[in-house]
Amino acid sequence: MRVAITRGVSPNIERCELTCLEREAISVDAAREEHSRYERCLADLGCEVRSLPPEPELPDSVFVEDTAVVFDELALLTRPGAESRRPEIPGIAEALSRDRPLARIAGPGTLDGGDVLVLDRKVFVGRSTRTNDEGVKQVRDILAPFGYAVTAVPVSRCLHLKSAVGRVAQDTLLINRSWIDGTAFGSMRFIDVEPSEPRAAGALLIADTVVYPERFKRTLEKLLRAGIRAAPVKLSELAKAEGGVTCCSLVFEV
């Protein structure tokens, strides 16, 4: 069975952390409608959606991806680079503890889940403004007994590693090469985002379908021409909070 853990949109999402975007008004009602449709999309793709209640005092808490990375062997609880987001961890820990043993990133390490791209037994960790060298080291140490190879990837000009690269098929990555060097990913096939859509690399692969933001129409057409099956969703309000399709769920098998 495939599970997707989500959390409702905080009524205070306008107070979210921002790194790469200018702050603008966010409609909470519109964001909640987008999120509800996103959850329905996950359910249509075969996920059991476990939706946690909103956290009014935690503006970014809808973006559950940053709080944990779920592997077959364990769930790795992060220590977000933005201190305001660290109180999100206990609720996610409780939700994950029913299905996985838990491991944790400890200070002074920092790690955002948006900086972690898992390609089977290879784990790529973005060294970004939210994830530091100590965080990368702890990921490597925690996963070493299970045979994962962990590679650090420098990230600049964007928030997270998965802002610049996303998996769209077993052997294929969608990438913005102006934001990240693709050589770290070895023999993977690449599809480049359209230059006019630099933020279009975020993609959530579930089985053989990619959940993808409908607003990146040119890159979406490129994916479809390449034979990628896509489920477009609207996330324009959540995007104002630097959110995307991967940010809003933790998807794993049980």
Q: How far apart are CA 55 and CA 59, in angstroms?
A: 7
Q: How many CB atoms lie within 10 A of CB 120?
A: 8
pLDDT tens digit string along 46-79? Answer: 999 999 999 999 999 999 999 999 999 999 999 9
- Residue 156: its pLDDT value, please? 87
The active-site residue, picked from 16, 47, 158, 160, is 160
Q: How many CB atoms lie within 10 A of CB 182?
A: 16
- Backbone dihedral region for residue 147 (phi beyond 0: left; psi -120 to 50: alpha; all else: beta): left
In terms of residues, how long is the chain? Answer: 254
Stretch 106-112: mean pLDDT, rounded?
A: 98
- Residue 144: its pLDDT value, please? 98
pLDDT tens digit string along 135-183? Answer: 999 999 999 999 999 999 999 899 999 999 999 999 999 999 999 999 9
Alpha helices in 147-212 (DSSP H): 161-164
- Residue 78: its pLDDT value, please? 98
Q: What percent of the chain has pLDDT over 90?
A: 99
- Residue 153: its pLDDT value, please? 97
pLDDT band at 37 (very low <50, low <70, confident <90, very high): very high
Q: How far apart are CA 186 and CA 8, in angstroms?
A: 37
- Residue 62: its pLDDT value, please? 98
Using an 8 Å Cβ cutoff, are 239 and 30 in contact? no
Tell whether the torsion through CA atoms of 230, 251, 249 and 77 is positive or negative.
negative
**Residue 107 clears pLDDT 90, i.e. is over it:** yes
- From residue 238, give the alpha-carbon distance in Å to each of 4, 9, 58, 201, 247: 18, 9, 15, 16, 10
CATH architecture of residue range(s) 2-253: 5-stranded Propeller (3.75)
Mean pLDDT for the chain overall: 97
pTM above 0.95, yes or no: yes
Each domain of the chain, given as residue ranges in start order, spans 2-253
pLDDT tens digit string along 195-204? Answer: 999 999 999 9
Q: How far apart are CA 184 and CA 209, in angstroms?
A: 25
In the residue annotation, 35 being an active-site residue is answered as no
In the residue annotation, 160 being an active-site residue is answered as yes
**Residue 23 clears pLDDT 90, i.e. is over it:** yes
The active-site residue, picked from 41, 47, 247, 248, is 247
